[in-house]
Chains A and B, each alone.
Chain A
Amino acid sequence: MTRHLYVHLPFCAHRCGYCDFVTVVGRKAQHDAYVDALLAELALECELLAPDVETIFLGGGTPTFTALHALERLLVGLPSAEEVTVEANPETVTQELARMLRGLGVNRVSLGVQSFQPRLLTVLDRVAQPDTVRRAFYHLRDAGFDNISFDLIYGIPGQSPADLESDLGEALALGPEHLSCYELEAKPGTRFTYEHGEGLVRQADAMESYFELVVATLTGNGYRWYETANFCREGDRDLRSRHNLAYWLGRDYLGLGIGAVSTIEGRRWRNTPRLRAYVEQLEARELPAREHEPLPVDVQLRERVMLGLRLDEPLSVDGLGDVIDLSALERLERLGLAVRSNGSLALTARGRMLGGGVTADLLA
């Protein structure tokens, strides 16, 4: 039984060059059928879901590109939850949409901002312009959203440190509750890598300091660097993404929709990424085709370490002894990258900057 539900809405107006998610361009006609299929999968799997769901996350694709009535039907059909997040692209956020989301129990929106520079947005194939972002943000605020997150991308080809500072400044000026900052990855097989991959390699060294700049700027402006790529405003409310925290704390989650991954009780599966097959199988009230991955205990423990060390809170090493290399840990401590204290393990700020390599070192 899990209290965390992910729902994948793959539809997009177009595919951005850097994206390697499971997305489906256009196909307005299929939105209804897809939502039916999602609700059917939910019905088939309902015994995996606890009665009191804590978080729901609608990710994409562009969930807010989904036909409004279809999205509405979906939200009505989902259980209620303490935190319900929807990802949105700025150009899709109208007053009407904002009100509808708020009215149907959504209380958190993650806005795909990426950058405030028109030039860089073009490189990323993004449609929204800086003003579109601001308008979307105000529509959401007007509709009563008091928990808004921005996605920002840094390391865009042609982005200078001044560009990045300016992006961070523009974002801070709006005062979102939460920020996710990702370095642009040239993922193999994407159009973007084909067009810009060499440029990224060329500027890789120059961009090494960008991550430091992001962390320094945001923490300097009252944000908590609570996960490798995530920041939330400090204050009375805990504004961390509760849904994503569930992943990082190694909790179970159920994922619905094409390409969605679930992890429940030591089993992980991934739904077929093929829209038609998914819809047809669920029309027949059958579970969609899935790729199963068994998770032996030691793999689960490794994942606990890998995910736990992304957080700013110390990781309890209780029961993790077998998967941690103690001599490596000592070495990392001497290098000032990791700290141990009564049964828990944390990375220092520099250790977190090097989190990937440090984690690889630590794992036995």
Chain B
Amino acid sequence: MTQDRIRNFSIIAHIDHGKSTLADRILELTHAVSSREMREQVLDTMDLERERGITIKAQAVRVDWKGHQLNLIDTPGHVDFTYEVSRSLQACEGALLVVDAAQGTQAQTLANAYLAIENNLEIVPVVNKIDLPQADPDAAAAELADLIGDDPEHVLRISAKTGAGVEDVLDAIVERVPPPAGDADAPARALIFDSSYDQYRGVVAFVRVVDGRFSTREPLRAMALGTRFEAEELGFFSPTRSATRTLDAGEVGYVITGLKDVSRLRVGDTLTSESRPAAEPLPGYKEVKPMVFAGLFPTDSDDYPELRDALERLKLNDAALFYEPETSQALGFGFRCGFLGLLHMEIVRERLEREFDLDLLVTAPNVAYRVKPPNEDWREVHTPSDMPNEIEEVEEPYIKASIIVPKEFVGVVMELNNDRRGRFDHLEYLSEERVHLTYELPLAEIVLDYYDQLKSRTRGYASFDYDVIGFRPGKLVRVDVLVGGESVDALSLIIHRDSAYDRGRALVERLQKEIPRQHFDVAIQAAIGARVIARETVKARRKDVLAKCYGGDITRKRKLLERQKAGKKRMKQVGMVEVPQEAFLAVLNLDAEKK
């Protein structure tokens, strides 16, 4: 098909604003899926996505509409996947910006709309759910038009649920979204905007061909990573897989690579032909780096091999997931895992527990730090115990937080942000009622419970999104916890100097309650370097005997002793001190409980 008959677009919407329903309706209207076989939300393949209403992985579907080939590129719906969203958007010429007629613009909508504008996409504004009794399509349309600088008359009003107005959406795509403008005769170039892993066929790349033509069995190369492979199969989804001999400029489809390692093909990279390679890759590739780290440990240490296998398998489909073995005095063998953000972490954890049936202990998350020890180069630290004692400079990741709330909650949101070392950036009224606030915050301040706090203080009205904006210097210190004079790795934390004393105090007090009395006094200290900032003592036991033991008592006393012994075996040895695993967990969860 010639490029002027092709339209590539995606749908941008907040969770629950109807993206998936609209996609379903489009498939139905274009007869890609018959009503009979229509399964709701065809595009979201994973159970988890369906349940959470989140699309984790992008896919692309080709449909026909009035002689045009429309490629719907599904974007991940959440902030953690901003990079993937931006790659998906780069594969399009247009985007449907969908807003719930009852709820109006949300923070996530804003973020993705800006992303689309940055990518020079033609935006087709759509107000959805006009059938709802509480819908206010005029207000939503006005807000939307204002946001993208368009005429409110241009905003389509639909109900994806009933199907009302959906044909107009398809027509608008054909009319308003420009066709692809690649060079069909140039050396072939295709943008990888997503990938997945098939157990039998290896890595499957989802691509948008920009220039030239790709053919089956052709030797290909990923330009940034230099990975070489042969295109075992080319094709597209409609929505089931259809193989094709070629993919041409402007088209969207998949490439089966046969690669067994998902990390060898990265989203954002450019595919080209080995026989006639392009001179320049497409712009915009960057390596995504995990920003949030947490330790994952099996509850039962015997499950370690299962956890390792599960992570290996998850990683096949999730190039952004990072993990390396970690040994903790407290929790035994496990993995330090890196995630793009909190939702990513939550999804990985749920998949491990649900799909692999693992019982996990997850330590409190921390962020990545950049550290410069004296006379050494900068390096990145992912776990507090790796933070060197001597630090010349240290930097932590900052985010720009975007929050939309009804105006009466502006005060509480500002208060929360100030408590979290936030710096006010910008405030604007989206409408008379709703305010858009932006703040700069250390990522570390939001990894634990920021979102919960925000939701509860605004009675659920706030919507929140963030973007990592880089590393900045911070007055950060490492607080160590010493039990019986021995530093406990799992309990070290990196924290702003101003909160170090309070946190150290709270940690030590909690541990004192959790550690049972021993044969000797046990000092529990919190320290910054050599300076102790808090101390408690677990007093030694003075008596621990089984009172009577005569002929009739021996079996029972032996069993008592065996139970005592078994209890001791479950404890973790820190130097001479026996510490129950629960003590570590209680402390690791200190923040979550306190607030």
Contacts and interface: CB of A to CB of B under 8 A. Distances in A.
Given A208-B542, A211-B545, A359 B561 contact: yes
A341 interface: no
Interface size grouping (class) on chain B: 20 to 34
A303 interface: yes
A354 B544 contact: yes
B542 A212 contact: yes
Contact of A335 (B520, B546, B555): B520
Interface in B496-516: none
Interface string B556-570: 011001001100100
A30 B541 CA distance: 47
A261 interface: yes
A268 interface: yes
A218 to B, nearest CB: 15
B455 interface: no
Contacts of B568: 360-361
Nearest to A355: B545
21 contacts: A6-B552, A183-B543, A209-B542, A211-B542, A211-B543, A212-B542, A229-B545, A229-B547, A244-B550, A255-B552, A303-B558, A335-B519, A335-B520, A337-B519, A354-B541, A354-B545, A355-B545, A355-B546, A356-B544, A358-B519, A363-B565
B412 interface: no
A261 B557 contact: no
Nearest to A182: B547
Contact of A268 (B542, B547, B549, B555): B555
Contacts of A299: 558
Interface string B511-547: 0000000011000000000000000000001111111
A206 to B, nearest CB: 11
Given A228-B547, A268-B555, A354-B519, 11 more contacts: A212-B543, A335-B576, A353-B542, A354-B541, A356-B545, A356-B546, A356-B561, A357-B544, A358-B519, A359-B561, A360-B561
Nearest to B552: A261
- Which one of B550, B551, B565 has the highest number of Cβ atoms from chain A below 10 Å of its Cβ? B551
B484 to A, nearest CB: 11
A183 B560 CA distance: 17
A334 B557 CA distance: 27
Contacts of B557: 306
B547 A185 contact: yes
Contacts of B545: 183, 211, 228-229, 352-356
B117 interface: no
Interface in A325-364: 331-332, 334-335, 337, 352-361, 363
A353 B520 contact: no
B543 A208 contact: yes
A359 B541 CA distance: 15
A360 B551 contact: no
A247 B519 contact: no
A353 B558 CA distance: 18
Nearest to A253: B551
B576 to A, nearest CB: 6
Contacts of A210: 543
Interface string A216-250: 00000000000011000000000000001001100
Nearest to A310: B549
A281 to B, nearest CB: 20
A247 B542 contact: no
B551 A331 contact: no
A259 interface: yes
| Interface core residue of A299, A306, A307 (most chain B CB under 10 Å) | A306
A302 interface: yes
A319 B549 CA distance: 23
B554 interface: yes
Interface string A301-323: 01100110010000000000000
Given A212-B542, A363-B561, A247 B554 contact: yes
A332 B578 CA distance: 13
Nearest to B576: A331
Given A268-B555, A360-B568, A247 B549 contact: yes
Size band of the interface chain A makes with B: 35 or more
Contacts of B459: none
B460 to A, nearest CB: 44
**A-B complex: 4 closest residue pairs judged by Cβ atoms:** A360-B564, A357-B544, A261-B552, A211-B543
Interface string B375-401: 000000000000000000000000000
Contacts of A268: 554-555
A263 interface: yes
A351 to B, nearest CB: 8
Nearest to B575: A331
B519 A357 contact: yes
A334 B549 CA distance: 28
A223 B369 CA distance: 66
B548 interface: yes
A302 B565 CA distance: 12
Interface in B249-278: none
Contacts of B541: 208, 354, 357
A303 B550 CA distance: 12
B549 A353 contact: no
Interface string A174-191: 000000001101000000
Contacts of B543: 183, 208, 210-212, 353-354
A208 B541 CA distance: 8
A260 interface: yes
Contacts of A182: 547-548
B205 to A, nearest CB: 55
Interface string A258-279: 0111010000101000000000
A142 interface: no
Contacts of B546: 228, 355-356
A165 interface: no
A293 B555 contact: yes
A185 to B, nearest CB: 6
Contacts of B542: 208-209, 211-212, 353-354
A311 to B, nearest CB: 11
A161 to B, nearest CB: 14
B549 A307 contact: yes
A353 B546 CA distance: 10
A189 B498 CA distance: 53
A45 B544 CA distance: 38
A355 B558 contact: no
A355 B519 CA distance: 10
A228 B557 CA distance: 14
A259 B564 contact: no
A307 B554 CA distance: 8
Contacts of B551: 6, 247, 253, 255, 261, 263
Contacts of B549: 228-229, 247-248, 306-307, 310
